[in-house]
Structures are given as C-alpha cells and as structure tokens.
Amino acid sequence: MDLEALRNFLRSRFPQVAGDYLPEEHEGRLVLRLRVGAHHLRPGGTVSGPALFGLADVAFYLALLARIGPQALAVTTSGQIDFMRKPGPGRDVLARPEILKLGRRLAVGEVRLYSEGLPDPVARAALTYAIPPDPGGKAGA
Amino acid sequence: MDLEALRNFLRSRFPQVAGDYLPEEHEGRLVLRLRVGAHHLRPGGTVSGPALFGLADVAFYLALLARIGPQALAVTTSGQIDFMRKPGPGRDVLARPEILKLGRRLAVGEVRLYSEGLPDPVARAALTYAIPPDPGGKAGA
Amino acid sequence: MDLEALRNFLRSRFPQVAGDYLPEEHEGRLVLRLRVGAHHLRPGGTVSGPALFGLADVAFYLALLARIGPQALAVTTSGQIDFMRKPGPGRDVLARPEILKLGRRLAVGEVRLYSEGLPDPVARAALTYAIPPDPGGKAGA
Amino acid sequence: MDLEALRNFLRSRFPQVAGDYLPEEHEGRLVLRLRVGAHHLRPGGTVSGPALFGLADVAFYLALLARIGPQALAVTTSGQIDFMRKPGPGRDVLARPEILKLGRRLAVGEVRLYSEGLPDPVARAALTYAIPPDPGGKAGA
C-alpha cells in the first residue's frame, strides 16, 4: 500500500480517528503525523501519554499494512513505551515506525516519536502485532 | 484521597476525560471504570488498545494520588501492556490498579483490566511514574 | 507435570542450570527457588538483574510446562521486568509465576520475585511465550 | 571513558563476567561483544534469552559510563526485550547500545543485538537506569 492507499484505508476503516492522523513520507520513509488537538492534551498543554501510545500503535499498524496489504486483521498483542521528554507545546507529533521482524505469525517493531522541528525523541515504543493465519481469524485485542 | 476526592480531582483537573472514567470501590479496593463510548471503539465494536492503555494509566495515577495526595505532579515515565483477550462487546472495562513500589522518586505498579462481568483479564499493564522532588519540578511526559 | 516431573525435566534438559533452580510448591502454587551463588552476584553482593530476569523466565516456562506438558518447544518471545528493591543479602530469591492467558499460539503471564522471608517483591516481570503449532516447529528465540 | 577504560573497569569491578564481554568500537560507536560459551547456551545450541538480556543490560551500562564516568552507581530499574530470531549457531552476539535520554535522574536507551555477520537483529531491548543523586545513594536493584 502506498501513501494514498494508507490514507484511504484510514478514512474508510477508522473514520473516527482519521482526522487525527496523517500518513506522510519523509525521505522515503513512512511518517505518521498526529495533528494535535485539544482532546489530546493534558492540563498544562502537554500531549497525553495515551495519545502518544495511540500514535505509536497506529504508526506501526500502517507500516505493517504497507508491507502485507489491507486485508490482514492484524491486532496489537503488546506494547511498551518510554516517555522521555515533554512534547513541545503547539507542535504536532511525528511518529517514525520501523519493522524489525515480519514473521508469519508475529510482527515486531519500534516507533520513535518527535515533536515536529525538535531533534530529540519525546517517546520510544515497541509494538508486537499478531498476524492471523487466515483473514477470518482474530487472535488478540 | 478517598473516592469522593478522586472524583472531584478528575472533574476539576481532567474535565475533558472525567466523563469517561468513574472511580469506584470494589471490596475495599480502588477500581476505575471506563464507561465505554463510541470514541473508544475500533471497527467491529472492540475497545481500542490505546483506550485500554489510557484506562490503565489513569487507574494507576489515581491509585498513586490516593496514597500521596493531589498535590504531586507525578508523570508516567514508562508503560508496558499485554492485550490478551478481546473485550466483551457492550461491556464497560474495569481497571484494578496495584502499587508495588512507592519510592521517593519512582512509583511502580501493575493494572489488570476486565470486561465487566467476565472472569479473565482482557489486558495487563505495568506502569512507572516519576514523583517530582518538589511541586515545581516536572520530570517526564 | 507435577513437581517431581518438573525437577526431572530441568535435570535432563537444562543440566547446566538445574543446580541453580529448585521447583517447589508453596500453598498449592508453583514457586521456583533461585539458590543464590557467587555467579549470580554483582559487586556489593546484590543478585544481578539478568539473574533475576533468568529466574522469572524459567519460572514462567515451568508454569507453562506444568499446564501443557514437556513436549512443547515453547520459546520466550518477549519479556519486561521492573527491578524495584535490592534483594536481601544472603537470601534465596523465590519466583511466583502466574499464567494470565494460555492461547493456542501465545502464552502470557506475570512473575513476582521475592527475597525469601521478606514481604515486598524485589522485581516483577511479564513474559510472553510462543507455542509452536506442532512439535517440530520453532517460532522464536 | 574510552574503550581501554571500559575494559579495565569491567575487569576490576565485574571480574566474574569480564571474560564474557568485550567492549569494541565499530565505525566510531561502542559495540559490546558476547563471547558465546557453553554456559550461555540452551539445549540445541541457542544462546539463552537471559544471556541476551544480560548482554543488553551490560552494553547499555557501559554506554552510560562512557558518558558519565565510572563513579556513578547507576542501577537498572527496568528492561524490556523482544526476542526476534534464533541467534546463529557458533557466532558471537554483538550489542549496539544507544542512549536516547540522559537526564539527571533517569537514563533511557535501546540496544539491538546481532549474531556476528548476520544482518537482521536477534533481539531488541529497552533499558532504564536510575542515576543516584550522589555517589553514596543507591536507588534500585
């Protein structure tokens, strides 16, 4: 799936969040932009931890679909995230996913999150997805 | 902080999500209820992974505040979650937090998440919070 | 597999570490004892982090074998551990594994580690194992 | 600390494992070699999960000491590891640590592990260390 296909997939399958996430390509690699809105913020104007976790999860999901196509009912089986810096106020957050293993049953990867225009990552996540053996199966949450 | 104080704290400090989360007490222990709404669901009617992660995060945060009081600017430094079962459709999700360590600088705990009325956990999370040395400091995200 | 079967399994299949680990039963539940020796210690006499991680890993593995039998080539696919307190000097470490999900392809659980005779856990780990579809397959590390 | 200082530090402070680990420099970056021996292996000749976790832990520790010097009593507070591929038989394992955050109280990083000469990582770990406020303090395990 290319960038246009990923955007269409988000709009048709995840209409309730498609406005939050914009798939982009930076230097040949997939980047997912979180268009930060009021519903992502904690008191003080910081992007909330769960909003960052959600961004990492969707970014890895799209990176996976770009490789295996839209038909797969891949589901997250586990995630781990380190919150390292307060996101810069008033800045979108950009997620850079990386697939480290794409097996028959499990995909494993890492995502780094940056406040747009700032060099140091605000968070780093590891995600594992289960890939169902057939389109009808669903293995996790 | 008791149950009423936690509810007031949520309403005054986190008004944008206070309607989603209801602190309760089951058999003497704090339980946080996620009132599942359309914005928590993925296609197929499943509660999304990030919604479950957010529930675990807030549940542990409230358990911590119940111990150290509302003044602390505690922030999540890391989280890890295993998604084990699809949440039951049409059911609220209940989070049971447990504090395993409450140090001067770090608090560590675990949260188990259940679809209301079902015996097996849908997810299990570990959370670490940084506790700032003084009210003016903020160490993480 | 009962306690005796687990001990024999360790001796026959993992002879190089069988002297370190002793499966026991406390109040009807499997407990794995780490007989702490000089090779488990860091300077200062503390049990090392990797020794604790290894104990958690083997404890969950044995809990899994007790359920599914010795034939399975189950392999760890991921682990997460929080080190919370310095282990008490001169004390064995006891691991209490708990299986939270036993699916066809993945088993997920938690292990708490205690210095013998002390009430608070020294560490807490989450483990995921892949269960191969057939005895000949091997899916992970 | 440079490479020679790290090697001397390992020999003097961790004599029991100094023979297992060799700090090297590849293309200007610190790499820690695990000289795989019989005591690192599981049945079948695979490097064990705990041996890989230990390698990642020590690699990040040395990367940290290279930045903050040998005086610090830094201790691991948490670790997470994904085992992705079976290590190649008869090959050493090389760990490439990366520091993502070096704060006053916490250091966070990532380590990728490779079988020597093979392109795909066998494992990927995230580590968090607590840095004590003064040389006399010790915050974790």
Q: pLDDT for C108-128, tens place per residue?
A: 999 999 999 999 999 999 999
Which residue in C80, C101, C126 is closest to B85 by CB distance? C101
pLDDT of C137 > 70? The answer is: no
**D58 vs D7: CA distance, rounded Å:** 12
pLDDT of C139 > 70? The answer is: no
Residue C54: what are its φ and ψ, rounded to 5°? -60, -40
Distance between A101 CA and the closest CA of chain D, angstroms:
6
CA B73 from chain centre, in angstroms, equals 16
**A74 vs A54: CA distance, rounded Å:** 15
C84 interfaces chain B, CB cutoff of 8 Å: yes
Identify which of A34, A35, A30, A6 has the alpha carbon closest to the alpha carbon of residue A97: A30
Identify which of C42, C15, C48, C17 has the alpha carbon closest to the alpha carbon of residue C32: C17
Fill in the DSSP letter of residue B90: T
Report CB contact under 8 Å: A78, C130.
Answer: no
Fill in the DSSP letter of residue A27: T
Residues of D in contact with C61 (CB under 8 A): none
Report CB contact under 8 Å: D100, A82.
Answer: yes
D75 interfaces chain B, CB cutoff of 8 Å: no
Distance between B28 CA and the closest CA of chain D, angstroms:
30
Report CB contact under 8 Å: D101, A110.
Answer: no
Find where tokens 């860091």 sit: C42
| Dihedral of alpha carbons A6, A8, A9, A13, sign | positive
> A3-130, superfamily in CATH?
Hotdog Thioesterase (3.10.129.10)
The pLDDT of residue A73: 79
**For residue D140, what pLDDT band results from cuts at 50, 70 and 90?**
very low
A69 interfaces chain B, CB cutoff of 8 Å: no
The pLDDT of residue D17: 86
Buried b (16+ CB within 10 A) or exposed e, B69-90: eeebbbbbbbbbbbbbbbbbee
Which amino acid, one-letter code, is at D26? H
**B52 vs B94: CA distance, rounded Å:** 10
The pLDDT of residue D43: 76
Count other C-beta atoms under 10 Å from residue C78's C-beta: 31
Instruction: Render B20-43 in DSSP notation, one character per residue.
Output: TEEEEEETTEEEEEE---GGGBPT
**A22 vs A58: CA distance, rounded Å:** 11
**C85 vs C100: CA distance, rounded Å:** 24
pLDDT digits (tens, 9 = 90+) for B70-109: 866 789 999 999 999 999 999 999 999 999 999 988 999 9
Q: What is the mean pLDDT of residues D95-119?
A: 96
Distance between B91 CA and the closest CA of chain D, angstroms:
32
Instruction: Render chain C in DSSP notation, one character per residue.
Output: --HHHHHHHHHHH-TTTTTTEEEEEETTEEEEEE---GGGEETTTEEPHHHHHHHHHHHHHHHHHHHH-TT---EEEEEEEEE-SPPPTT--EEEEEEEEEE-SSEEEEEEEEEETT-SS-SEEEEEEEE--SSTT-----
The pLDDT of residue C109: 97
pLDDT of B141 > 70? The answer is: no
Q: Any idea where the domains of chain D sit in the sequence?
A: 3-130
The pLDDT of residue C91: 96
Contacts of residue C41, Cβ cutoff 8 Å, sequence gap at least 6: C47, C48, D16
pTM of the model: 0.93
The pLDDT of residue C70: 84
Identify which of A89, B110, A70, A105 has the alpha carbon closest to the alpha carbon of residue C80: B110
Q: What is the mean pLDDT of residues C4-23?
A: 91
Higher pLDDT, C122 or B46: C122
Identify which of B107, B112, B80 has the alpha carbon closest to the alpha carbon of residue B97: B112
Contacts of residue C55, Cβ cutoff 8 Å, sequence gap at least 6: C21, C32, C34, C93, C95, C113
Q: What is the mean pLDDT of residues B127-131?
A: 95
Structure tokens at C116: 């013998």
Q: What is the mean pLDDT of residues D94-121?
A: 97
Report CB contact under 8 Å: C82, B108.
Answer: yes
The pLDDT of residue D72: 64
For chain D, the chains sharing at least 3 beta-carbon pairs closer than 8 angstroms are A, B, C
The pLDDT of residue D9: 92
pLDDT of C140 > 80? The answer is: no
Q: What is the ipTM of this complex?
A: 0.91
Residues of D in contact with B106 (CB under 8 A): 77, 130, 139-140
Distance between D84 CA and the closest CA of chain A, angstroms:
6
Question: Mean pLDDT for each 10-residue chunk of chain A (141 residues)?
Answer: 93 88 95 94 87 97 93 87 95 98 95 97 97 55 34
Find where tokens 């074998």 sit: C65
**B135 contacts B70 by C-beta, under 8 angstroms:** no
